[in-house]
């Protein structure tokens, strides 16, 4: 039995994702695909546009055989941690043979070369990186410029950048999973307009936010039939959810100057002194703001909008720098929580339960006794963030999503 792993957000699940799963199975000659998927909050520092259980069903209908939850501290982290946590989760299952990811270039050999350079950080690279940082470029841009100056043509494309991080995580952890790249087809990752072929998730989200209050009909050509049906049914009932649906909660946290765990905002994960000072200056104006307005006003040349969003989200979710250091030291994922699986994947489930070296969570009520203190702390962040998401759904639509203890595993 061969199994391929995929780390994803599926925000939302579209035809390009279904294509990637199909191609991943072909590339790895795999019988099954296991997906480590972000929950209700995602890596760009925002809520998922539709809840994780609906996205799990979309993924299973679209070709995945087993969907696991990538815990929220890692799902909302910068690319190196996001990638390392995803690799850790899939590796610890003990039965995943390959890791497949989307790529603009599709050149796995070039990505491996880039990953080795970034992992080893030769003197020439360090000098170039510091030079470009001093010139005021963001860190991701500086990395790309340093690599290109050395003749390693690393693109700034998001999937290639993340692919390099996956390979770095594989190398650092000694994982035996073999990396494969599936060339991305259709829209660019950041495209915000729909066009022929595979649309990007960004374009789909943008279109949803621009649609009338009663229809998402224009998306039917870009989504698998099941995805469209699920989204159409949930539209204006439990989705769409956006960052601005958390503006009031964020405003209370920012004005209090402390996270709900009592720690100063300066200690939030990905917060920097410069960003913290900018927040304080904006507060002094007495100006009201939405989540997106605050993030945009905080943006500078050398702090990306995604970094700002993540820092603000970590303030909101009370995820601290100390938490992240603790979780990193524990090799990230200390449990594998099943969100959903296909009923014909019994041999895969058996392999996971027999080979995983971390607890496999199928019933949330039993999790506390299966996990150590750090594992329970990771899970507590998940429960708190899911409650906040459910609260946002209720405030916006007056509809209730099932809570974490009643939702149950999605089985198709």
Ligand-binding site membership of 10 (annotated): yes
Q: Is 267 annotated as a binding-site member? A: no
Q: Could you give the C-alpha distances from 244 to 42, 328, 396, 400, in angstroms and in order?
A: 15, 30, 11, 19
Q: Is 246 annotated as a binding residue?
A: no
Is 159 known as a binding-site position? yes
Does 281 belong to an annotated binding site? no
Strand spans (E) along 162-314: 178-183
19 marked as part of a ligand binding site: yes
Q: Is 389 annotated to bind ligand? A: no
Is 152 among the annotated ligand-binding positions?
no
Closest CA to 356 of 57, 3, 61: 3
Location of structure tokens 């994947």 = 345
Q: Which residues of 235-251 are buried (b: 16+ CB within 10 A; e: fewer)?
A: beebbbbbbbbbbebbb
Residue 345 tokens, joined: 């994947």
Q: How many residues does the chain have?
A: 412
Q: Which residues pair with 360 in a beta bridge?
A: 336
62 is in an annotated binding site: no
Beta-carbon contacts of 310 under 8 Å, excluding residues fewer than 6 positions away, are: 43, 44, 45, 76, 77, 78, 269, 270
Q: Are strands 32-38 and 66-70 parallel, antiparallel or unpaired?
A: parallel
Q: Is 102 annotated as a binding residue?
A: yes
Is 146 annotated to bind a ligand? Reply is no
12 annotated ligand-binding residue: yes
Give the integer Cα–Cα distance in Å for 263 and 269.
11
Q: Is 185 annotated as a binding residue?
A: no
Name which of 16, 10, 15 is nearest 37 in CA terms.
10
- 328 annotated binding-site participant: no
Is 40 known to sit in a ligand binding site?
Answer: no
- Decide: 73 and 378 in contact? Cβ < 8 Å: yes
Q: Residue positions in the annotated binding site for ATP?
A: 7-20, 102, 159, 184
Q: Residue positions in the annotated binding site?
A: 7-20, 102, 159, 184
């Amino acid at each position: 039995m061969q199994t391929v792993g995929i780390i994803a957000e599926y925000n939302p699940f579209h035809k390009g994702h279904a294509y990637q799963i199909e191609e991943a199975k072909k590339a790895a000659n795999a019988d099954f695909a296991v997906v480590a998927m972000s929950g209700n909050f995602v890596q760009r520092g925002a809520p998922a546009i539709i809840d994780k259980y609906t996205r799990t069903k979309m993924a299973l209908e679209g070709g995945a055989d087993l969907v696991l939850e990538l815990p929220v501290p890692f799902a909302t982290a910068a690319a190196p941690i996001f990638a390392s946590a995803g690799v850790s989760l899939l590796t610890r299952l003990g039965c995943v043979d390959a890791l497949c990811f989307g790529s603009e270039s599709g050149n796995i050999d070039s990505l491996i070369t880039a990953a080795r350079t970034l992992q080893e950080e030769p003197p020439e690279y360090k000098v170039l990186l510091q030079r470009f940082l001093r010139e005021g470029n963001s860190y991701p841009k500086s990395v790309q410029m340093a690599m290109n100056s050395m003749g390693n043509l690393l693109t700034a494309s998001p999937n290639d950048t993340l692919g390099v991080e996956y390979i770095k995580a594989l190398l650092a952890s000694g994982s035996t999973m073999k990396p494969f790249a599936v060339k991305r087809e259709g829209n660019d990752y950041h495209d915000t307009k729909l066009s022929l072929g595979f649309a990007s998730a960004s374009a789909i989200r943008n279109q949803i936010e621009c649609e009338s209050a009663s229809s998402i009909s224009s998306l039917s050509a870009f989504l698998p039939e099941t995805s469209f049906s699920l989204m159409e049914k949930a539209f204006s009932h439990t989705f769409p959810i956006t960052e601005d649906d958390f503006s009031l909660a964020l405003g209370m946290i920012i004005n209090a100057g402390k996270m709900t765990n009592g720690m100063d905002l300066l200690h939030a994960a990905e917060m920097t002194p410069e960003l913290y000072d900018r927040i304080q200056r904006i507060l002094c104006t007495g100006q009201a703001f939405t989540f997106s307005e605050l993030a945009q006003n905080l943006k500078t040349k050398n702090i990306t909008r995604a970094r700002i969003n993540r820092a603000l989200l970590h303030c909101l979710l009370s995820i601290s720098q100390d938490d992240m250091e603790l979780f990193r030291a524990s090799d990230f994922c200390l449990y594998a929580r099943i969100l959903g699986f296909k009923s014909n994947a019994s041999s895969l489930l058996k392999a996971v339960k027999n080979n995983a070296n971390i607890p496999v969570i199928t019933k949330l009520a039993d999790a506390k006794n299966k996990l150590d203190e750090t594992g329970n702390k990771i899970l507590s962040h998940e429960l708190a963030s899911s409650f906040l998401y459910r609260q946002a759904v209720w405030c916006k639509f007056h509809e209730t999503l099932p809570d974490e203890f009643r939702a149950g595993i999605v089985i198709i």
